[in-house]
């Protein structure tokens, strides 16, 4: 509320407001006998304040602020506020204001940087001005308090009070302009005078009406007056609602859309973007004829074009049909790129982009060779499976370059809606084709390389299963007639080479997995990582960080140290990050110290560039002592080694297992202990050792869950080592499931486990004999320096791991 016009000579500052602390007293405690005979008068424009109500007040003129400052110096902090009869220029005088006003107490005040005062005031009493005693520097007047006339407990006033309360509560419920809190406040207010003042202050009436309520001292008359005004306000709200409803009914959807489209058309004309309807139809017809659609699609497009020609541009469906026809004409129905059929050139390109991966390169070369003999060959459906960072996605780009085809990639990670694959039907607002058709539009040809990244991370929920939609896409027998919900016609995907990538096969549904030709990418060993770093990673990072020109060199010994001490992964993604870090550190030195090339990074400089060593070989530290064996594990990121540690202590034969072991792994420990107890005499172990000793077996890295039967050989080796006192050589690792008969059963993940052993510096690996066929899939050069030992029984395994000479038949006999 503004008391007068804001002083234009005052400027605002970006400072916080200053709060003036005031000890507040309740208006309930105010005694009218304590009211001074003379009070300062503050005129108010456009508002009337009532007793007992808290109100905010804005004071922004020097004259009024001086009044406030004087009031704050008095003990009671009282002043009289009176409404101005009509707008006046300058400061209102005695002739411009009413003679009845409200005495206010200042409860709180804030001084703002713009020199204005924000007050919180509370009315305490009605007062009449007798005469004015001063006009400068502000108005002062002699006043006397007015007393309410009427008995609040009378039947008439009680009835009027209930009526006012009920009607006002109904008004609050019906009107959107009044706060719901007023309804509860009015219901709980027992004082008739206060109720009348509360209702009057919240009614949307003029100043004269509110002033009449303020001046009415007869309580019954005031309540009747307020009741009449509330009833009038309710009637006005009712009429407003009826008018609004009538207008909404009369102005229908078609009329509104017509007006909006006319406005849109006017905007387009102003921007020079308008196009004659006939010209638009001719343009679409030309595009349909040039698109090379099959007969089914051509009929559908012409049918929709005919509908469009008979439809006014203002119609809601006009834009939907036009968008559909634009999608239809943008698709590569018959456009085919010419393949590069030079087998030698394709092989050269694949070798330039990737090191190793011979199986995948051979498969692509075979496809090119067959394509050169059979032109209508359908595209293969490949699935590259391997740990992160092994080059699955980049391999798709390399294949596209070798075949000279367009490359399209879509990520399926986190996709849970079937419509993401098949599209939405046109009945939905904002419908679009699925990602497959969108990718084909981007490709502009019908035979691109289409990469479906992270196919193992597709989800499913109430919106459908995207994996089921992929069944048609990835089936060579069906994808020639792929149906997208948006297009409603078949699209031929048979010439597309689909390449899916995944880290693991298990999450992929069996039906989808059966449709793809799975090619596994094992993790890289140290020699391969070194070669990849020299050929691809180092040159790329030197170029990316601008240090190629200064002659930065990272020698082989430095790269090997980075691989061994700063990365531990199946792929090379983190290796490239570390090489990039080295390049950035050198770039900073060049900029700060003006170094001149050539600059050679040596292994001893890595601690300053990359920080302390992050990974150290734990083989020598953990293995080589009784009760410790090295096992092999499969992980989604490739293979890894794990240590099996056990110890004994005096006890009652209890077994304690730690390391976050799963149920199957715990059963392997039980089987290993049972087998060793039965055959303890063959190893010179006293039987009472099992009864008088408690065993504790632990597999480190307890935060990582571990499960599976493949640690059986490692468990029995660690227990036998503990009880015999023989140490397992630190360069021997083992894997295999055991039985109570002493047999060693085959396990999975052999390729990843063997490569993990190679990376960890293991020299010998004990494997189940029936897994020998799995090793045949590993390239011989990857096994260089690694001795593979195949065993059929636990006895054979212990002969190689602990050099125990025991009869093999006895070691394998049934329990």
Residues annotated as part of the active site: 710, 753
Yes or no: say if 775 and 788 are a contact pair by the CB < 8 Å rule. yes
Contacts of 89-97 spanning 24+ positions with Cβ under 8 A: 91/4, 91/43, 91/61, 91/63, 92/4, 92/43, 92/45, 93/135, 93/139, 94/132, 94/135, 94/139, 94/141, 96/43, 97/41, 97/43
Give the whole-angstrom CA distance, residue 112 versus residue 16.
7
From first CA to last CA, the distance across the chain in angstroms is 97
Q: DSSP secondary-structure letter at 535?
A: I
Report how far Cα 506 is from the mean position of its chain's Cα atoms. Answer: 25
> What is residue 685's three-state secondary structure?
coil
Question: What tokens appear for 123 in the block?
Answer: 């009315």
Yes or no: say if 778 and 749 are a contact pair by the CB < 8 Å rule. no
Yes or no: say if 640 and 756 are a contact pair by the CB < 8 Å rule. yes
Yes or no: say if 128 and 99 are a contact pair by the CB < 8 Å rule. yes
Task: Report the side by side order of strands in the sheet with 497-502.
Answer: 407-411, 449-453, 497-502, 381-385, 517-520
Give the whole-angstrom CA distance, residue 197 versus residue 179.
17
Question: What tokens appear for 513 in the block?
Answer: 């997995």
Q: Which residue has the tokens 């392997």?
A: 668
Give the whole-angstrom CA distance, residue 366 versus residue 220.
104
Yes or no: say if 93 and 63 are a contact pair by the CB < 8 Å rule. no
Question: What tokens appear for 229 in the block?
Answer: 């005004």
| Side-chain half-sphere exposure of 262, counting CA atoms within 13 A | 6
Across 82-108, b (16+ Cβ under 10 Å) vs e yields bbbeeeeeebbeeebbbebbbbbbbbb
Q: DSSP secondary-structure letter at 386?
A: -
Q: How many residues does the chain have?
A: 815
Give the whole-angstrom CA distance, residue 279 versus residue 285.
10
Yes or no: say if 669 and 697 are a contact pair by the CB < 8 Å rule. yes
Yes or no: say if 500 and 474 are a contact pair by the CB < 8 Å rule. yes
Across 198-234, b (16+ Cβ under 10 Å) vs e yields bbbbbbeeebeebbbbbbbbebbebbbbbbebbeebb
Cβ of 267: how many Cβ atoms within 10 Å? 11
Give the whole-angstrom CA distance, residue 78 versus residue 81.
10
Give the whole-angstrom CA distance, residue 460 versus residue 415.
8
> What is residue 648's three-state secondary structure?
strand
Give the whole-angstrom CA distance, residue 565 versus residue 587.
23
Yes or no: say if 408 and 445 are a contact pair by the CB < 8 Å rule. no
Which helix or strand (DSSP H or E) is residue 797 part of? helix 794-801
């Amino acid at each position: 509320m503004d008391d007068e016009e804001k002083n234009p000579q005052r400027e605002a500052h970006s400072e916080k407001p200053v709060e003036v602390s005031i000890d507040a007293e309740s208006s309930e405690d105010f005694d009218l006998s304590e009211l001074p005979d003379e009070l300062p008068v503050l005129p108010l424009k456009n508002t009337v304040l009532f007793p007992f109500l808290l109100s905010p007040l804005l004071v922004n003129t020097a004259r009024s602020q001086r009044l406030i400052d004087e009031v704050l110096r008095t003990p009671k902090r009282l002043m009289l506020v009176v409404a101005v009869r009509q707008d006046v220029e300058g400061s209102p005088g005695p002739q411009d204001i009413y003679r009845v006003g409200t005495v206010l107490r200042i409860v709180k005040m804030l001084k703002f940087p713009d020199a204005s005062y924000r007050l919180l005031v509370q009315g305490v009493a009605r007062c009449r001005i007798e005469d004015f005693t001063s006009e400068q520097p502000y108005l002062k007047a002699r006043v006397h308090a007015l007393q309410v006339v009427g008995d609040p407990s009378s039947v008439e006033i009680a009835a009027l009070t209930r009526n006012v309360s009920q009607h006002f509560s109904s008004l609050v419920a019906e009107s959107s302009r009044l706060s719901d809190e007023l309804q509860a406040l009015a219901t709980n207010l027992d004082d008739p005078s206060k109720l009348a003042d509360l209702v009057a202050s919240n009614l949307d009436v003029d100043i004269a009406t509110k002033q009449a309520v303020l001046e009415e001292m007869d309580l019954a008359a005031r309540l009747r007056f307020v009741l009449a005004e509330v009833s009038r306000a309710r009637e006005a709200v009712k009429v407003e609602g009826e008018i609004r409803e009538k207008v909404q009914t009369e102005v229908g959807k078609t009329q509104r859309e017509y007006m909006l489209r006319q406005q849109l058309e006017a905007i387009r004309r102003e921007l020079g973007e308008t196009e004659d309807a006939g010209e638009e139809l001719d343009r679409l017809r030309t595009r349909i004829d040039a698109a090379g659609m099959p007969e089914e699609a051509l009929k559908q497009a012409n049918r929709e074009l005919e509908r469009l020609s008979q439809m006014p541009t203002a119609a809601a469906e006009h834009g939907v049909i036009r968008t559909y026809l634009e999608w239809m004409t943008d698709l590569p129905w018959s456009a085919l790129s010419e393949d590069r059929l030079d087998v030698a050139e394709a092989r050269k390109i694949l070798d330039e982009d990737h090191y190793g991966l011979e199986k995948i390169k051979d498969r692509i070369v075979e496809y090119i060779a067959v394509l050169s003999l059979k032109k209508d060959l359908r595209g293969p459906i490949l699935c590259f499976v391997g740990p992160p960072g092994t080059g699955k996605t980049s391999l798709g780009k390399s294949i596209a370059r070798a075949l000279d085809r367009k490359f399209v990639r879509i990520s399926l990670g986190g996709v849970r809606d079937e419509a993401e694959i098949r599209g939405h039907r046109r009945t939905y607002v904002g419908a679009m084709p699925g990602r497959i058709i969108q990718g084909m539009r981007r490709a502009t040809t019908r035979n691109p390389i289409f990469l479906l990244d992270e196919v193992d991370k597709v989800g499913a929920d109430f919106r459908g299963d995207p994996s089921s939609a992929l069944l048609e896409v990835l089936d060579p027998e069906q994808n020639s007639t792929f149906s997208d919900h948006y297009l409603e016609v078949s699209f031929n995907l048979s010439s597309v080479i689909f390449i899916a990538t995944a880290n693991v096969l298990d999450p992929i549904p069996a039906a989808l997995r059966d449709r793809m030709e799975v090619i596994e990418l094992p993790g890289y060993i140290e020699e391969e990582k070194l070669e990849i770093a020299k050929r691809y990673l180092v040159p790329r990072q030197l170029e990316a960080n601008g240090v190629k020109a200064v002659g930065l060199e990272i020698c082989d010994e430095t790269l090997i140290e980075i691989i061994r001490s700063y990365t531990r992964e199946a792929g090379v993604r983190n290796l490239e990050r570390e090489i990039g870090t080295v390049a950035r550190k050198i770039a900073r030195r060049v900029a700060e110290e003006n170094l001149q090339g050539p600059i050679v990074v040596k292994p001893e400089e890595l601690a300053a560039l990359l920080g302390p060593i992050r990974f150290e070989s734990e083989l020598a530290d953990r293995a080589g002592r009784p009760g410790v064996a090295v096992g092999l594990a499969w992980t989604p990121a490739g293979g890894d080694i794990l240590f099996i540690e056990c110890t004994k202590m005096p006890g009652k034969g209890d077994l304690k297992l730690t390391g976050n072991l799963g149920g199957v792994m715990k059963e392997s420990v039980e089987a290993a202990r049972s087998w060793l107890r039965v055959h303890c005499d063959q190893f010179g172990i006293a039987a009472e050792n099992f009864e008088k000793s408690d065993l504790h077996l632990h597999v480190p890295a307890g935060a990582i869950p571990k499960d599976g039967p493949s640690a059986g050989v490692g468990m029995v080796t660690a227990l036998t080592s503990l009880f015999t006192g023989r140490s397992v050589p630190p360069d021997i690792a083992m894997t295999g499931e055991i039985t109570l008969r002493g047999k060693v059963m085959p396990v999975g993940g052999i390729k990843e486990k063997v490569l993990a052993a190679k990376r960890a510096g293991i020299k010998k690996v004990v494997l189940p004999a029936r897994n020998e066929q799995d090793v045949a899939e590993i390239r011989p050069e990857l096994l260089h320096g690694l001795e593979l030992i195949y065993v059929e029984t636990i006895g054979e395994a212990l002969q190689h791991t602990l050099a125990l000479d025991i009869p093999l038949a006895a070691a394998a006999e049934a329990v």
